[in-house]
Amino acid sequence: MAIAFAVCAASLRAGVAIDLRYPREVFRVADVTEFVTNEPVLRVVGDVASDGAPWGLRVTAPAGIPDLAGGYPTLTEVTFDLGGHAAVTDVVFAPVIERDQGSIRSFGVREFLLSGSPDGGAYGPQARVASGSGVGSVDGRATVTLSPALEARFVRLRWLSGWQRGEDGTPDVRLEDIRFVTQASSSVSAPVSEFAALVMNPSETQPFAYDVLLHEGRNRVVLEVVEVGAAAGDTAAFDSATVPVTLLPELPLSTDAADGEPTVLSDGASLAVTVPAGAAPETLRGLGLTRLNPTDVPVATYSANTDIDASYPPILAYEFSGWFQEPFKAVSTAALPGQPPSLAVDGRLEYPSTWVSNLAPFPIRWRVDLREEANVARVVIHPRVEDGVSFGPQRATVLFSLDNDVFTYAGEQEEFPDGVGTIAIANRTPTRWVELVIEEGKQANDIQINEIEFFTATGSRVLAQVTADEVSFQAPVVVNARYFADDVAAAAAPPSAPIGAFLWNAGALEWQWTRAAVTEAELLNPAAQAGGGGLLAFDVNSLSKLALFVRSDAAEDTAIVAAWSFNPFSPNGDGIADTTRLSIRLGRHVGDADSEVTVRITDLRGMLVATPADGIVTTSSAVAIDWDGRDRNGRAVPIGAYIYEARVRRFGAGAPEVANGIIAVAK
């Protein structure tokens, strides 16, 4: 599937055009042409150039918008999809209300135009409707009763005036929520399908920025510049741009990647990250790629860096985040010491991360707290299977509860297979607590379950997640960073300035050059040459922040430097310094040969304890290696001092370079 940005070939009115800057109008980074992301929120940034006449910018939102008051220019029109034909009797606004030193200000709608459509195409006549401010009501809401009821699936509201006005005289409307009352339901919260901003006095170039929500799978975000008088009608757009983007809710599990297919994520503009099969940590569920304003990178972080020409700000800047699955809290009526019930919901599918019962009599009850309400459609059980023998349940029932007190029947499985088994939920009501009642086992009452998963009707997993601002991989990932001529110009750098890719090393508190060579735009695939600039590609095993800087003319540095993030560290499971990271700066050298990195830990007698890195091959000049304080057999090492050795061998070079020292394990 090839995905690119499509833009109308010509505007219908001269002098009015949309310039989509982020994501790019044409997305291509090296050979990556498909815009795939783990992030459910897409930020759309650009400009509208006009001849000074009023216009409106209308944007489709595949799954809604996160904030009715977000983005700029301020929204003045919102379209909701009720999901089916309905008779709307009331519109309920929840305005932002500010209280300051005795004064109260409502940012609600004062007067608006209302229209409806059965299919999102042609809209019916507009009705002019007045609304209260919400001030003085018990819940701060303003309810507008419609007479007669509006028969429609799509409901469009356009603000004519608000209880507050902006500096330019336009309505200053800020809403927390809009709900609808229908004849069939007391209250309906509908997603936004489209929104628009009407600009009455545009500048020659008017910037815009909005966030839209994506649904799982393929999405199309369409931006149209329309006549102000047509923002609620059917007149063709002056100009438009379309963003096709695929939302991948999760990275594939390592056990699902046996075919060796990599996952390629991008931001739809200048960055693509290829994650090979098996490279992601076992509990990593998503990788965020966030573009930063280059001027927001603190000058103090690079002003003294001899590899960087600090006369210029970064050309591009990104920060990465990882979403890691955390264990749910679970209890059971039976468990062996060291094999607690929470091991069945820790995101790890293999033994020994396994809940094991202690041969207690049936029924065996296992209960989990999902942390918040979820619409669970099926429960998937991964039993331990050893030499073809399954230690899973033979017969089990699932119960749901919202209060951890009253549980109701949700589904059952009378006969499980020997492998992975699924319990389909018959009673699909929201739940927070799930109880699995095992009434019979494959191997008598010896129950051993590697993992229990919960899925919604759309196929999304119900997860507990924590966000980290740095991600270490089990094998190198490939980063492609594409900068354009206008990126260089925005930094006021010369067009021929030497550009380098730098990664932030949090342990050393410095930007470290990756040694990636620039491929000039004219040498790229013809479809990727537009916009000038160049491409930098490199592999790395840790991602935190990335920036493209103008490189300085500093002398080559060939020495390697190694430093631990925590030394000593205390791998005692208290969540503080449980692991430590060895950051290795490989130095620079003539040529771009690969390097092989090996890290060994020995005791003071020279006996090998662990090998955190064994011959990792990289083209980067910055490598990060984690150690969890365990030996080669997975056992915690005794408290004390150990010797580490980082050995770097450059292919085609002479003897390897070595950095060594003491790493201490504390209580």
Average of per-residue pLDDT across 152-166:
92
Q: How confident is the model at residue 591 (pLDDT cuts 50, 70, 90)?
A: very low
What does the pLDDT read at residue 494?
93
The pLDDT mean for the chain works out to 86
User: Which DSSP string do the residues of 482-519 spell out, in sequence order?
Assistant: EE-HHHHHHTT--TT--EEEEEEETTTTEEEE--PPEE
Q: pTM of this prediction? A: 0.75
Q: How far apart are the first and last CA of the chain?
A: 53
| Separation between Cα atoms, residue 132 and residue 136, nearest integer Å | 10
Q: Is the pLDDT of residue 554 over 70?
A: no
DSSP string, 198-214: EESS--SEEEEEEEEE-
Domains for the chain: give ranges and CATH numbers: 6-247 (no CATH), 254-323+470-550 (2.60.220), 329-466 (2.60.120.260), 561-665 (2.60.40.4070)
User: How does DSSP classify residue 278?
Assistant: T
In this predicted structure, what is the pLDDT of residue 452?
96
Q: Which of 87-101, 102-116, 606-620 has the lowest mean pLDDT?
A: 606-620
Asked whether the predicted pLDDT for residue 598 surpasses 70, the reply is yes
Question: What is the CA angle 467-470-476, rounded to 5?
Answer: 125
User: What are the CA-CA distances from residue 360 to residues 335, 388, 595, 596 (Å)?
Assistant: 8, 24, 55, 52
Could you tell me the CA-to-CA distances from 616 to 190, 277, 282, 584 in Å, in that order?
Answer: 51, 16, 19, 12
DSSP state letter for 636: B
- Comparison of pLDDT for 229 and 328, the residue scoring more: 328
Which residue carries 């009821």 as its tokens? 149
Residue 11 has pLDDT above 80, yes or no: no
Contact between 181 and 187 (Cβ < 8 Å)? yes
Burial of 99 (0-12, 13-18, 19+ CB in 10 A): exposed
- Give me the percent of the chain exceeding a pLDDT of 70: 93
What's the CA gap between 13 and 247, in Å, rounded?
Answer: 34
**Euclidean distance between CA atoms 78 and 89, whole angstroms:** 18
How high is the pLDDT of residue 340? 94
The residue-averaged pLDDT of 565-593 equals: 75
pLDDT (0 to 100) of residue 12:
41
Give per-residue pLDDT as tens, 98-129.
Answer: 988 888 999 999 999 999 999 988 899 999 99
Task: Give the count of beta carbons closer than 10 Å to the beta carbon of residue 608.
Answer: 11
Place of tokens 């170039």: 205
Q: Find the mean pLDDT for residues 479-494.
A: 93
* C-alpha distances in Å from residue 61, one per residue of 116, 207, 211, 219: 18, 19, 9, 9
Please say whether the beta carbons of 11 and 41 come within 8 A. Answer: no
**Cα(591)–Cα(520) distance, integer angstroms:** 18
Among candidates 108, 58, 106, which has minimal Cα distance to 78? 58
- According to DSSP, the residues that pair with 433 across neighbouring strands are 369, 401
Beta bridge partners of 306: none
